Structure 1
Amino acid sequence: MTTMTTELAHESRLTRERRRWNVERIAVHAVLLAFVALALGPILIVILNSLKTTPAIFGGPFALPTAETFSLAGYERVLTRGNFLLNYRNSLIVTLASVVLTVGLSTLAAFALVEYRVRFVPLLAGLFIVGVMLPIRLGTIPLIQIMIGLKLMDTLWALILVYTAMSIPLGVTLMMTYFRTVPTELKEAARVDGASEFRTFSIILPLVRPGLAAVATVTMLPIWNDLWFPLILAPGKANQTVTLGVQQFVGQFLNDYPALLAALTLGALPLVVLFTIFSRQFIRGLSAGYGK
């Protein structure tokens, strides 16, 4: 009798714990769904209203487009009066070049800082960490003077060089954590077999691919979304990026709400797509890198 009572009490306790766990899980998912709705709601509202006429926008801003209210006139005005194709090309060139340079230089620098035990390595590593904490916008005036001296003002190269310099400190700091996890025996075996330093580097590079993806993603998103340096260093129409093009288009068509919302949609859409594609690699690589 005592044994049966004990088993019933144990089963009852397990049932209560399981029920409490289910309630907690439902509560956590509800909170997460609320945050998702809070984050995606404004984006969806902008996209939906960009597909409607001006009276429909004011008559029902939260309503879906219908056969009577649906209109692509805003996108037509954006594509015919704006320079979005040129802006997209410039942003693509600047972003890809900056990402490639940042990943390549950060990986080589991190490998050297981890492998070569010399006196000034801790100092260099500390300088890179300081570079992560200090915003590069504090040096805008010296950067302008440097670009004027190099005759690079109002060129895409000015943006590429600044973005690369801005992203390298975080890239080096992140890649160093990955190179430290590579087994020392693997590198020693490669050197014993006669491999050069560059060959050793190429052998261990596949082991740090999550870090490469994290550095590329961390670099790509802020560069595409930046407005400050395109406005300062490359304001000319021929070198405008998407963000700057959207900002100037908004100023010209402030009362044309379909065109205004269409421009905002075209400016934000690539950023959303890029983050959706690389979000898994970004979260996995970044969390693993900082957790090591």
Structure 2
Amino acid sequence: MTTKTRAAGRAGSLVTHGLLIVFALLAIAPILVIVVNSFKTTPGIFNEPFALPNSETFSLAGYDRVFNRGDFVLNYRNSLIVTVGSTVLTLVLATLAAFALTEYKVRFAPVVGGFFVLGIMLPIRLGTVPIIKTMISWQLMDTLVALILVYTAMSLPLAIALLMTYFKAVPAAVKEAARIDGAGELQTLSIVLPMVRPGLAAVASVTMLPIWNDLWFPLILAPGRANQTVTLGVQQFVGQFLNDYPALLGALTLGAVPLVVLFVVFSRQFVQGLSQGIGK
């Protein structure tokens, strides 16, 4: 490799990293501005919006009003129940379905797999009216169970399609050896599961983030005060306290922080799981 080639490669790498840093700052800056200003008084927000809080502008009054007049503890509990319940149910059902579709050679398996791929392309919101009618007939309107069922159905197509790529990559000799030793199908699945762990992590991360951030179905299926999620609680709080900027920014911060934490915790598993799944 010549000196000019190396210099060109380094220059290209610097440009790429520079652009990535710029894009990262553009994405992070609005969140930082909201978080910083949520700890200020109203004059401090308008007079010095990009400055850090000081002895004159620092205030926790916005958060005090958020927790005293809002139901964020209840909202967080509801979001946690819905997100964890939907994710666990999606993982269990997607694992069983993906294992069956890749392991058992039956005629209709490719057709069923094709339906799951089709489900990825069709947004579930198109079926809002039938979903509402179904939940009414099941007497599940304004319940967390309705949200868990809908989110599980929404997440299954992508989860199954992703896990199928991992189960197809598992060596057949491993499963044959387990069956020769007398293992049943569930025991064979338990032996295979550690080999598809990156795929399970990817499915969990892909499932959790959209569910926590969704507003549509909580607004349609569980609008009651006792079942509101964080996103719906923030939206209604913002509507009530539109002119109370410290409380408004505090509510937005409480709604955004969990998403940032989830992404930071699961970003590596998300990227690694998706990239390995595509490669396989």
**Residue in 1 aligned with 2:72?**
84
**Residue in 1 aligned with 2:34?**
46
> How far apart in 2 are the matches of 1:227 and 1:32?
30
1:11-50 → structure 2 map (5 Å cutoff): 14-50=2-38
- What is the CA distance between 1:63 and its match in structure 2? 1.3
> Of 98, 105, 110, which aligns to 1:110?
98
The one-character-per-residue Cα deviations of 1:231-285 (angstroms, maximum 9, x if unpaired) are 0000000000000000000000000001000000000100100110010001000
The one-character-per-residue Cα deviations of 1:32-75 (angstroms, maximum 9, x if unpaired) are 00000010010001001111111111111111111111111101
> How far apart in 2 are the matches of 1:287 and 1:235?
38
> How far apart in 1 are the matches of 2:8 and 2:131?
58
**Residue in 2 aligned with 1:178?**
166
Letter in 2 for 1:201: L
**Residue in 1 aligned with 2:253?**
265
> How far apart in 2 are the matches of 1:167 and 1:24?
39
> Of 119, 131, 135, which aligns to 2:123?
135
1:1-292 → structure 2 map (5 Å cutoff): 14-292=2-280
TM-score by length of 1: 0.95
> How far apart in 1 are the matches of 2:4 and 2:207?
48
Any stretches of 5+ residues in structure 2 without a counterpart?
Answer: none
Letter in 2 for 1:20: A
- What is the CA distance between 1:176 and its match in structure 2? 0.2
> How far apart in 1 are the matches of 2:110 and 2:13?
45
> How far apart in 1 are the matches of 2:12 and 2:153?
45
Farther off after superposition, 60-69 or 89-98: 60-69
> How far apart in 1 are the matches of 2:74 and 2:54?
32
Give RMSD over aligned pairs: 0.8
The one-character-per-residue Cα deviations of 1:108-136 (angstroms, maximum 9, x if unpaired) are 00000000001100110000000111000
Farther off after superposition, 233-242 or 60-69: 60-69
Farther off after superposition, 56-65 or 152-161: 56-65
TM-score by length of 2: 0.99
Percent identity of paired positions between Structure 1 and Structure 2: 69
> How far apart in 2 are the matches of 1:114 and 1:219?
22
Q: Number of residues paired by the alignment?
A: 280
> How far apart in 2 are the matches of 1:68 and 1:14?
60
The one-character-per-residue Cα deviations of 1:188-215 (angstroms, maximum 9, x if unpaired) are 1111121111111111110000000000
Larger Rg: 1
> How far apart in 2 are the matches of 1:273 and 1:199?
35
Letter in 1 for 2:53: P
> How far apart in 2 are the matches of 1:226 and 1:235?
13
Q: Which runs of 4+ in 1 moved over 4 A?
A: none
Letter in 1 for 2:9: W
> How far apart in 1 are the matches of 2:3 and 2:115?
56
